Structure 1
Amino acid sequence: MSTAIEEARQVVTKLSAEERRSLVEWLAHEPVEVAPGIYRTPRVCGGDACIRGLRLPVWQLEEGRRSGATDSQLLQAHPALTPEDLANARAYASASRAEIDRLIQENCEA
């Protein structure tokens, strides 16, 4: 176990029950970087992998790409996106193909 985790454990054991509840609540909402520029945040977009700082799921960009949208069209449709975001989304979609396929399918059926 890492030193940081052990130090955190020692601090957490000294917290009151209310402080622990607050800590758990805070951690439950903290975004986690799952790939460069790609984050999962509990209770945001169903916890799906999204572009950094945006509520834009990777599966949605990949669905657009598979439907024939060019990078230029995607960037125009989502002005906060950068070319680097698209590259990160493509890399994540490629590495997580089964997950992305499932999410596209689920959201097309909805």
Structure 2
Amino acid sequence: MTSALQAIANLLPQLSGGERAQLLQWVAQDLGDLAPGVEVHPLVCGGEPCIVRTRIPVWVLEQARRQGLNDGEILRCYPSLRAEDLVNAWAYVRRHRSEVEGQINENEAL
């Protein structure tokens, strides 16, 4: 267990029921922003959101979709992807549309 998790585990018994409920709300809110299957790592693809297990940025997949490729065609172009990866990518795009738009625009300008 990491030291941060251990610290939380040690503090948890000291919290009142209301404080625990507040903590749970914060955690649930934080988890709501996560996109399963999409990761951001500063040393992978310049820190752009990518599909886990790959170095395929989400913006690349969204750009392909905008250019008319359907999911089947995208999966054929990227054999390491699974249908589940595209579901996760599209969910990420819905939640972070302006971020993805910016990444597409930046890369089109190059």
- Tell whether the structures are fold-level matches, with TM greater than 0.5: yes
The answer to which structure has the higher strand fraction is 1
Counterpart in the other structure of 1:41: 41
Partner of 2:7: 6
After superposition, give the CA deviation of every residue in 1:62-106 in whole Å (9 maximum; x if it has no partner): 000011011111000000100000000000001100000000000
Within the alignment, does 1:68 sit opposite 2:68 as a pair?
yes
Q: CA deviation at 1:5?
A: 5.3
TM-score normalised by L of structure 2? 0.71
Q: Tell me how far apart the structure 1 counterparts of residues 108 and 80 of structure 2 sit (CA, whole Å).
A: 24
Q: Residue 3 of structure 1: CA displacement?
A: 6.1
* 1:96 paired to 2:86: no
More relative contact order in 1 or in 2 (CA 8 Å, sep 6+)?
Answer: 2
- Structure 1: 4+ residue segments shifted above 4 A: none
Give aligned-pair identity as a percent. 43
2:96 aligned partner, one-letter code: S
2 CA distance for matches of 1:3 and 1:41?
20
1:9-60: CA deviations, max 9, x gaps? Answer: xxxxxxxxxxxxxxxxxxxxxxxxx411000111210101000110000000
Match in the other structure for 1:14: none
Q: Specify every segment of 5 or more residues in structure 2 that has no aligned partner in the other structure, as ranges.
A: 9-33
**Could you tell me how far 1:6 is from its partner in structure 2?**
2.4
- Cα distance in 2 for residues equivalent to 1:102 and 1:52: 21
Higher helix share: 2
> Over aligned residues, Cα RMSD in angstroms?
1.7
- In the superposition, relative to structure 1, how do residues 58 and 5 fare at CA in structure 2: closer, same or farther (>3 Å)? farther
